[in-house]
Every structure is written in C-alpha cells, then in structure tokens.
Amino acid sequence: MFYNTLLLNAISWAREAGAVQLHYFRGNNLDIRTKLNDSDIVTAADKASERLLIGRILDAYPSHSILTEESGDIRHGNEYRWVIDPLDGTTNFSAGLPGFAVSIGIEHHGETIAGVVFAPYINELFHAVKGQGAFLNGSPVRHSAKTDIAGAVISTGYPVDKASGAEASNLDNIARVMPLVRGLRSLGAASLDLCYIAAGFLDGYWETNLHLWDVSAAMLILKEAGAECSRFRSDRNISIVAGTPVIHDRLRQLVS
C-alpha cells in the first residue's frame, strides 16, 4: 500500500537527517542564531537537516506539499503534505545533550497517516502508520498501565515566550501538577515526550505554545499506542495534554 511506501521513505530519510545532525553534534560549527528571543534558536544542523529532507521529498514526490519549521510552507498539490521538524530539541542539541530528534509526519487530505520520530544519538526510531500500531526500533509499543497520578512520571516544557508574563509561563500548571506526581520532568523535545508516552516510559505530558511540526508525527505514534492526546488553550498555538487514558483525563482537569 502507498502509505507503507511513504513510511519506508520517511524512515530512510529520517536516518539520513539523523546522520547530518550527528555530524554537527558537540562540534564547533553549530552557528547558533537566535530567532524570536534568546530561548528560540536555530543552528547549521537544523538548516542542513531541513535541506536534505526537502530535497529528498521533492525529488521523489514533486506534487507533494511540505510544512517545515525553518522554511515554512512549500505548496504544491493538496493531496499529500509532509510536516517536518528537521531538528526537534535544538536547545538540547546546542548544549550537547542527547535528547533531540528529527520528526516527519505525512498527511493525506489533511489527516496524518504516517509518522517517524528518530533520535539519532540514542538510536531510537519510533514509527506508525494509521491503523497499524506504533513501534520503537521495529518492536510494537503500548502506553503504560498507570492509572494513579501519584505514581506517574509526567513531563512538560517551557514555552519560548516564557518570560512574557504569568499567562505564558506555564508556571501555574507546574505548581498544580508537580506536588501530585512521582516525578515531573522536562526533556526538551516535544516529539520525544509524546513518543515516550507511546512506549510507556512516561505516563503523561502537557505543553503550551507548540507548533504542528513538533507534534504531527508523534501524535499519530501516541494514538497508535493506545494513549490519548487532546488540545487545550486555543489562544496558545498548539497546547496539548497527553497520557495513558486515565492520566490524560486527570491531567486535563489540572492544566489550563
């Protein structure tokens, strides 16, 4: 089926993009530039990874559209669109921390039908095709069995505009959730947060002010692993709560 062909290409190109990331990782040629503010950065590796992915996709599928973080909208046909974060977790990457990934979601008529998230340094490749389950390095994964938030390990993130006031900072949510859970983490790559719920390594997650390229692939992987994900705060781009079905519902009551 064509979706599986698309997936195989996405996996192969994600591995190539991961190799590009590793070429730059912990090196001296990162060329770190700020975007909106000091917390929002792009490196030469983001750009090189994106160049490779755009080239591969358009060579193979010239009629497909692409939405990608650094270059925006590349519009061709309306049938297929690739939604790409060429390097998710750039702050980790720029600091020499291993939690970074390439994320590739594929939409057919607006619905995500395949997703790949590859973290090259730790060699973890997550994938899913709609209706076919979720996989980590080729083995099926499923969300954890946790139902009690007191025993849950949860993660969240800090939005790039965190310094612009209490409304944006996520601190009120952190203050509400942190005392109730076993552990509250911030791993620094939204795509991996969601995939770790899919694999049962995290039990829940929320974050505000994300973008489609951060979550497109991982939201499919998470759903295919039986976990749940929903949006809140329509005023803050993509703000999501995710988790095992029970933890998702409990977290939803806590965050705003």
Q: Does 203 bind ligand IPD (CB under 6 A)?
A: no
192 binds, among Ca ion, ligand IPD, none (CB under 5 to 8 A by kind): none
Q: Does 214 bind ligand IPD (CB under 6 A)?
A: yes
Strands 80-88 and 228-231: unpaired
User: Using CB under 5 A, which of 50, 85, 107, 228 touches Ca ion?
Assistant: 85
For the chain, counts of helices (H) and of strands (E): 8, 15
- Name residue, tokens 């709560």: 241
Rank residues 69 and 107 by Cβ distance to Ca ion and give the closer one: 69
Q: Nearest CA to 182 among 158, 156, 159, 152?
A: 152
Task: Say which amino acid occupies 214.
Answer: D
- Least distance between Ca ion and beta carbon 53 (Å): 12
Rank residues 119 and 189 by Cβ distance to ligand IPD and give the closer one: 189
Compose the 115-154 pattern: x for residues touching ligand IPD by CB under 6 A, - for all others. Answer: ----------------------------------------
115 binds, among ligand IPD, Ca ion, none (CB under 5 to 8 A by kind): none
CB contact at 8 A, 60 and 100: no
Number of residues that bind Ca ion (CB under 5 A): 5
CB contact at 8 A, 197 and 208: no
Q: Does 159 bind ligand IPD (CB under 6 A)?
A: yes
Residue partners of 204: CB distance under 8 A and separation at least 6: 149, 152, 154, 155, 181, 197, 241, 242, 243, 244, 247, 248, 250, 251
Angle at which helices 2-24 and 44-60 cross, to 10°: 150
User: Using CB under 6 A, which of 49, 90, 144, 244 touches ligand IPD?
Assistant: 90
- Least distance between ligand IPD and beta carbon 174 (Å): 13
Q: Does 188 bind ligand IPD (CB under 6 A)?
A: yes
Residue partners of 190: CB distance under 8 A and separation at least 6: 88, 157, 207, 210, 214, 215, 218
Rank residues 125 and 189 by Cβ distance to ligand IPD and give the closer one: 189
Rank residues 69 and 203 by Cβ distance to Ca ion and give the closer one: 69
Binding footprint of ligand IPD on the chain (CB under 6 A): 85, 88-91, 157-160, 188-190, 207, 210, 214
